[in-house]
Amino acid sequence: MSKIDRLIRAYAEHISLPWARGLAGEQRTIFVCYDPADERRLRTRIDEFELATTSANHGWQRIDLTDAFAEWMGGLEYRDSYFQYPEDLPPALDLFFEELSGKVQAKLAAASEDDVVALTGIGSLFGFLSISALVKSLAGAIQGRLVVFFPGEYEKNTYRLFDARDGWGYLAIPITAHQEA
């Protein structure tokens, strides 16, 4: 069985369990952790995660963040100056964070307590904003479950995106390909 097969199986088993109500948003978050080298393989099979979700009688909404930064940057009036003077970009990234967080929060708030809102493409945000800060900013808006497809690793209650720096602790439920079935 491939790593992606095991990941889908572990996700399907978890998502089909009865959902506890009254949990904090951070406890309603699920990180599907996978090797960054498997990004394309996972994306070609994302429909199987949706099928596992809907088979468990939950709704599914997917938000693909792959192009979020490019679309935001493309809409800026002074985007060309950021390419000439990239040192001026960091203060603008705070605005990007706020806008992206607001858009995702709105979708989370509109979902029911029986829905999964799935975030894909978060690896494309690496270097532009903190994924941990983004997920924490979403916690208050989660009605059902937030599923974050996470190209990195989970070890000893710590998440590490792309193995690039120290990880962070988070109360999310990890789903990995090496879980016991």
* Predicted confidence (pLDDT) per residue in 50-70, tens digit: 999 999 999 999 999 999 999
pTM for the predicted model, two decimal places = 0.90
- The yes-or-no verdict on residue 130 having pLDDT over 80 is yes
Q: By C-alpha distance, which of 50, 44, 24 is closest to 170?
A: 24
| pLDDT for residue 157 is more than 90 | no
pLDDT in tens, 28-56: 999 998 999 999 999 999 999 999 999 99
Which domains, and CATH codes, for the chain? 3-17+26-175 (3.40.50)
